[in-house]
């Protein structure tokens, strides 16, 4: 059996077309959706993510602001800038690219962003709203995964969903979203015993760990939907330098029913959902201004 591919690039292109239409409709009402991105330091991966986010805005007809700070910047400077962006009515979404240098308290930074502009959905108020089943902004990566499942009509009600990874950014919000759709959810982590026992029961398996190819075909239930969130750069072997996921694609695709590739799976969807959240924030402002 060879799995069908869940193509994140194709779905992103379709959704971004719809976003461009929404951005144009807002512009016609005098509101240009605007995302402000703050990057601190010189982490090359972060720089690429920020560049892609800014380029995504431009292509969708949205405005973006990019502020880059030296790695040793005084946190007070960044807090002052966040306060300025919070107060600027022309800015609808604000995100601070993670990770931050060690002399920053990342939680304090995320809490400084106005909840109604927190398009990453990481502010405690927005995490709480998601937990209560009444989200204001859904964190972009899990939001993208839900869109991918929806696009293929993957049955969710009563499905066994297993998530490997419990981060605040991916694993935990993913669990909340699948639970809200009446999946039976198991969350595994580094202390879980017998990982394969859990993964083999999964109708929907989400891998969000950061360990190259750790989920192999023999850990997957035949016909399962496998979502690979992981992004890893291989350090050695014949594929050294290439990107790969947490799932061993070659063995997994022979067992799974539906599978996301890396690259070209969840990655492009994450940025698409960031743009979606920014448009939603702008639409709320425009609605309130009517």
Residue from 94, 113, 266, 281 touching ligand NDP (CB under 6 A): that is 266
CB of 42 to ligand NDP, least distance (A): 18
Q: 206 exposed, middle or buried (CB, 10 Å; 0-12, 13-18, 19+)?
A: buried
Tracing tokens 């077309």 back to the chain, one arrives at 17
**Using rule CB under 6 A, residue 235 touches ligand NDP:** no
**Using rule CB under 6 A, residue 169 touches ligand NDP:** yes
Active site residue 117: no
> What whole-number distance in Å separates Cα of residue 285 and Cα of residue 283?
5
What CA–CA distances, in Å, run from 102 to 40, 74, 110? 11, 12, 15
Query: At a CB cut-off of 8 Å and minimum separation 6, what does 15 contact?
Result: 147, 272, 276
CB of 116 to ligand NDP, least distance (A): 23
The dihedral region occupied by 73, where left means phi > 0, alpha psi between -120 and 50, and beta the remainder, is beta
- Residue 182: phi and psi, rounded to 5, are 70, 30
**Using rule CB under 6 A, residue 51 touches ligand NDP:** no
| Residue count, binding to ligand NDP (CB under 6 A) | 25
Q: Which of 53, 117, 172, 221 is catalytic?
A: 53
- Residue 147: phi and psi, rounded to 5, are -65, -40
**Using rule CB under 6 A, residue 210 touches ligand NDP:** yes
Active site residue 43: no
Stretch that binds ligand NDP, among 24-32, 123-131, 150-158, 169-177 (CB under 6 A): 169-177
Active site residue 18: no
Stretch that binds ligand NDP, among 111-119, 147-155, 224-232, 276-284 (CB under 6 A): 224-232
Contact set with ligand NDP (CB under 6 A): 141, 164-167, 169-171, 188-192, 195, 208-211, 229-232, 266-267, 270
Positions marked catalytic: 53, 97, 120
């Amino acid at each position: 059996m060879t799995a069908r591919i869940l193509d994140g690039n194709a779905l992103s292109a379709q959704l971004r077309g719809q976003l461009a239409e929404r951005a144009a409709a807002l512009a016609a009402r005098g509101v240009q959706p605007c995302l402000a991105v703050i990057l601190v330091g010189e982490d090359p991966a972060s720089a690429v993510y920020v560049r892609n986010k800014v380029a995504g805005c431009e292509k969708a007809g949205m405005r973006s602001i990019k502020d880059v700070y030296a790695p040793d910047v005084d946190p007070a400077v960044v807090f002052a800038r966040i306060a300025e962006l919070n107060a600027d009515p022309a800015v609808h979404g604000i995100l601070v690219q993670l990770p931050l240098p060690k002399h920053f308290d990342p939680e304090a930074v995320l809490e400084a962003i106005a909840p109604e502009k927190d398009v990453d959905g990481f502010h405690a108020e927005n995490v709480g709203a998601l937990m209560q089943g009444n989200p204001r902004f859904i964190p972009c990566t899990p939001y993208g995964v839900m869109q991918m499942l929806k696009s293929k009509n993957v049955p969710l009600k009563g499905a066994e969903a297993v998530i490997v990874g419990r981060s605040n950014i991916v694993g935990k919000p993913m669990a909340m979203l699948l639970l809200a759709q009446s999946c039976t959810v198991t969350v595994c982590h580094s202390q879980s015993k017998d990982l394969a026992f859990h993964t083999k029961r999964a109708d929907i398996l989400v891998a969000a760990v950061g360990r190259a190819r750790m989920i192999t075909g023999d850990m997957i239930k035949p016909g399962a939907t496998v979502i690979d969130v992981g992004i890893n750069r291989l350090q050695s072997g014949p594929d050294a330098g290439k990107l790969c996921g947490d799932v061993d694609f070659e063995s997994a695709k022979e067992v799974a029913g539906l599978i996301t590739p890396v690259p070209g799976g969840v990655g492009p969807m994450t940025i698409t959902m960031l743009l979606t959240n920014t448009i939603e924030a702008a639409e709320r402002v425009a609605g309130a201004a009517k």
